[in-house]
Amino acid sequence: MKMERCKAGHLYDPKKYNSCPYCEEDVLEGNRKSNINRKRSTTVSNTNENGVKTLAYWDNQDGVNPVVGWLVCIEGAEQGKDYKIISEKNFIGRSEEMHIYIAEDNAISRRNHAVISYNPKQRNFVLIPGQDTTGIIYVNEEPIYSPAELEIYDVIEMGNSKFIFIPLCGQHFEWENE
């Protein structure tokens, strides 16, 4: 399978997708914008007469998709390594295609072992177990079978690794719209 890399750095199968399935499309301009070069803007949820839904997007201003939190591996093959969490969905797995790429733990699924999502409107983080994974995810020693809200310093166990969750954004800080 020949994979292609979009301008934002995502890998995708060009036989399956005409363009990168991870990047959002700017409906007004009809072109794609790089996730790397986005800054938070106004969220619009509206469907026009052609059935095209307008979604939140990031303006191309400062070249940074700001961090909203981190996972830090505290036990396992990548102990001491940190993983940046960005706004909205962060897919976790061993594949380079994943937002949070954990290469050294073979007990973690290649794709979509779990998702950590930051909702900027509600200012909260949610851990969602992957649909196709056989492994159980634990938060503070409790198994997670459905979406669970994360709190500061929660310990997440996936595969043979443990991670500590450290939020930046939330009730006390948020990247401001400009």
pTM of the model: 0.65
What CA–CA distance (Å, rounded) separates 17 from 8? Answer: 16
Q: Is the pLDDT of residue 133 over 60?
A: yes
Domains of the chain: 1-65 (no CATH), 67-167 (2.60.200.20)
Looking at residue 154, its pLDDT comes to 98
Looking at residue 23, its pLDDT comes to 66
CB atoms within 10 A of CB 45: 8
